């Protein structure tokens, strides 16, 4: 990855050290973003896109934010359909896959621009969605979509060199079971590359809602729904992860888990606390 600012952090105390040691650079990044924004409601930023393999105009507006300032993570979108965090994920994948001549890939999505772009480079990559149309696990529906439940994957042990899961785990009530299943299907030496709502200022994961034994849902916080490519109803967010999720990954069977914070003006990776999680099997 060609980002000008890459830092691997493994725990909350590491984050505090990182912020102290790089306070001036972090402040300069925020100043750069503020000057770039300048109160405009819509504008473009030039940045190198890992999918298009060239500098592209990246769209910025006030969608998915507070209506006052940009949500840099979800915007900076290229015409290929990839936004800031997803372009970075493809960039990370390009680096991770270099260690495997013909990587076996599984993405926990199939109806997305990311999966389409990934399949262009890796034609054998497998994707899936959580379907609600009665399709049996491991099979495709009439539209060609594969149904998988992350808490009970149908793949054999060690089936993949890299599993990719972006903004999915927060929608799974028993996310620890899902992490265990992902670890099971990742081959030794392989990786999980993931993103999800991550509150870097919290040591522990915050549970927003839980499923009761009778199937009802108890909400500890006001319900929050995120977009779902399968249904317009969206997906309920069950938790916002804190640093303890890295311990959950290790307990699930990964040898190591860490966050990589990234920032690059050249590639249009802007915004505070931009990060991806890498867990090694």
Q: Which pair of tokens denotes residue 200?
A: 């870097």
* DSSP labels, 105-156: EEES-SSSHHHHHHHHH-TT-EE-B---SSPPTT-B-TTSPBB--TTS--SP
Range of the domain at 240: 5-280
CA-CA distances (angstroms) from residue 72 to 15, 58, 80, 137? Answer: 20, 11, 17, 36
- At 183-201, the pLDDT tens digits run 999 999 999 999 999 999 9
Burial of 200 (0-12, 13-18, 19+ CB in 10 A): middle
What are residue 98's phi and psi, to 5 degrees?
-65, -20
- At 32-47, the pLDDT tens digits run 999 999 999 999 999 9
**Which residues partner with 177 through β-bridges?**
none
- At 230-274, the pLDDT tens digits run 666 678 899 999 999 999 999 999 999 999 999 999 999 999 999
Q: Beta 160-166 vs 186-195: how paired, if at all?
A: parallel
Burial of 83 (0-12, 13-18, 19+ CB in 10 A): buried
- At 72-125, the pLDDT tens digits run 999 999 999 999 999 999 999 999 888 888 899 999 999 999 999 999 999 999
Q: How high is the mean pLDDT of the chain?
A: 94
Q: Is the pLDDT of residue 2 over 90?
A: no
Name 204's Cβ contacts closer than 8 Å, sequence gap at least 6. 242, 243, 244
pLDDT at 252: 98
Displacement of CA 93 from its chain's centroid (Å):
12
- Residue from 277, 251, 104 nearest 189 by CA: 104
Count how many domains the chain has: 1
Percent over 90 (pLDDT), the chain: 86
pLDDT at 99: 80
Can you give the CATH number for the domain in which 241 is found? 3.40.50.150
Percent over 70 (pLDDT), the chain: 97
What are residue 224's phi and psi, to 5 degrees?
-130, 125
pLDDT at 130: 93
The terminus-to-terminus CA distance of the chain in angstroms comes to 21
Residue 249 DSSP SS3: helix
150 neighbors 131 (Cβ within 8 angstroms): no
Residue 9 DSSP SS3: strand
């Amino acid at each position: 990855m060609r980002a000008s600012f890459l830092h691997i952090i493994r725990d909350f105390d590491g984050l505090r050290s990182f912020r102290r040691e790089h306070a001036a650079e972090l402040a300069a990044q925020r100043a750069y973003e503020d000057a770039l924004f300048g109160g405009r409601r819509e504008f473009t930023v030039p940045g190198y896109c890992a999918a298009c393999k060239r500098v592209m105009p990246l769209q910025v507006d006030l969608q998915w934010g507070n209506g006052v300032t940009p949500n840099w993570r979800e915007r900076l979108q290229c015409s290929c359909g990839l936004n800031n965090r997803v372009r970075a994920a493809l960039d990370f994948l390009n680096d991770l896959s270099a260690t495997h001549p013909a990587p076996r890939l599984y993405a926990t999505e199939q109806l997305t621009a990311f999966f389409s772009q990934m399949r262009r480079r890796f034609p054998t990559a497998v994707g899936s969605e959580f379907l609600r149309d009665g399709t049996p696990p491991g099979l495709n529906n009439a539209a060609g979509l594969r149904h998988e439940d992350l808490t009970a994957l149908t793949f054999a042990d060690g089936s993949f060199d890299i599993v990719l899961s972006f903004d999915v785990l927060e929608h799974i009530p028993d996310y620890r079971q899902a992490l265990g299943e992902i670890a099971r299907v990742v081959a030794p030496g392989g990786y999980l590359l993931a993103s999800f709502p991550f509150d870097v200022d919290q040591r522990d994961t915050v549970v927003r809602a839980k499923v009761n034994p009778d199937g009802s849902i108890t909400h500890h916080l006001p319900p929050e729904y995120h977009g779902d490519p399968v249904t317009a109803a969206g997906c309920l967010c069950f938790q916002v992860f804190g640093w303890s999720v890295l311990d959950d990954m290790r307990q699930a069977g990964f040898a190591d888990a860490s966050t990589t914070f990234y920032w690059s003006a050249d590639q249009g990776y802007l915004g505070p606390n931009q990060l991806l999680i890498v867990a090694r099997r």
